[in-house]
Amino acid sequence: SWLQFHLGISHDGLYPRSSPTVDRLLQDMRDFTTISAVVKPSGVHLKLVLRFQDFGKAMFKPMRQKREEETPEDFFYFVDFQRHNAEIAAFHLDRILDFRRVPPTVGRLINVTKEILEVTKNEILQSVFFVSPASNVCFFAKCPYMCKTEYAVCGNPHLLEGSLSAFLPSLNLAPRLSIPNPWIRSYSFDGKEEWEVNPLYCDTVREIYPYSNGNRLLNIIDMAIFDFLIGNMDRHHYEMFTKFGDDGFLLHLDNARGFGRHSHDETSILAPLSQCCTIKRTTLLRLQLLAEPEYRLSDVMRESLLQDRLAPVLTEPHLLALDRRLQLILKAVRKCI
C-alpha cells in the first residue's frame, strides 16, 4: 500500500479525492508488525522511524501531552509541545478541506518493549530505555536540544500512544524543495518580522517570483487558513515536490504544534489572507459549506476522527473552536470584499 500511495501522488495532492489506497495504508499502519525502529536525527522532540513487515515506513511521534491540557499562555510557539493527536487531527482536517496535502496519519498504541526495544538494532536507542519508579518502561533519545531523561516518554507500563505518519517517497526518487514561508515568524523573544508591522507587506511579496503569478500565493493562503484552524504558529518553511513545478501543491508537514489552545484564536496566522485579500474559489466554497448547519465543520471532524483507534482524538472544546475560527476566516474574507 505504501508503493500504491507513492504512485498516486499527483500535481493536485498526495492522494486522489476518493482513494481506497489511503484507507488501506491507514489500516496497514494500525496493524502491521514493526521490524525496526531508529531515532529521527533532526528536530527538537523525540521522533522515531518505524519500519513495518512490508518494508513501509512511518514517523512515530509519542504522546507527550494529555488531550485536556492546554499549552500555557506564557509558552512561545517555538518551544511548544509536540502533540501526537494534533498530527492525527490535522490529517483528518486537511482531507475534509479537500487539500490532501498532509501525509496519511493514524493513531496507534505501541508496545515500546516489543515493538521498539526488541526490534531496534540501534545501540544508542537500546541504551536509553529504563524502568521508571512507577515501573513503566520509558525511553528518551539523544538529539540536539531537549531529548534528555526528564523529557523521556513512558509506556503504561509498556503501551504508549502515538501518531504514525506515512513516509513520502525518498528524496532520491521524488526531490523536494524546502522554502522559507514569506510570513515566517521571528524566532526570538522580542523581534518582529516585516509582515507584523507593515500592513502592505503583501504588495512586496507579490513583486517577488514565484508569488507574482500562478498559484503559489493562493497555496500560501490555503496553508495559512489550515494553520489558523489548528492554531499552528510554527510554519517557518514549506515543502514542494520539484516534479510538479512552481504551481505544485505545498506539503502541510509537521502539524504537531497545532491544537494547543482551544480558548485562543491567533488571528495573526491569517495575515496572508487579510493582507493579500485573495482566496481560491474552491477553498472559499468548501469553507462556506462547512459553515452550514447540516455540514458543520465540528460535526464532520468529530465523525471523521471516530475512525481512529485513539478516539476521541480531540476534546470537545477543540472541535467547537474549529467552528468559531471558521467564522473568523469568513469574516476576514467579507472584509476584503
Name the binding residues for Mn(2+).
254
What distance in Å separates the CA atoms of residue 40 and residue 230, rounded to the nearest whole number? 24
Measuring CA to CA, which residue among 212, 254, 203, 208 is closest to residue 233? 254
Residue 20 identity: P
φ and ψ at 229, to 5 degrees? -60, -40
Positions marked active-site: 234
d(CA 171, CA 141): 25
Binding-site positions: 61, 165-168, 239, 254
Give the span between the Cα atoms of 94 and 105, in whole angstroms. 11
One DSSP character per residue, 176-222 reads: EEEEE-TTPPP-SSS---HHHH-TTHHHHHHTSTTTTSTTHHHHHHH
φ/ψ of residue 313, rounded to 5: -75, -40
* Angle formed at CA 152 by CA 232 and CA 317, multiple of 5 degrees: 35
**4-10 contacts at long range (C-beta below 8 A, 24 or more positions apart):** 5/104, 5/166, 6/168, 6/169, 6/173, 6/174, 9/168, 9/169, 9/174, 9/241
Run of H or E including 51:
strand 48-52
As a whole number of angstroms, the distance between CA 67 and CA 83 comes to 9
CB neighbourhood size of 27 (10 A): 12
Cα distances (angstroms) measured from residue 80 to each of 7, 64, 72, 145, 166:
35, 11, 9, 13, 23
| Residue set of the binding site for ATP | 61, 165-168, 239, 254
Q: Please say whether the beta carbons of 174 and 243 come within 8 A.
A: yes
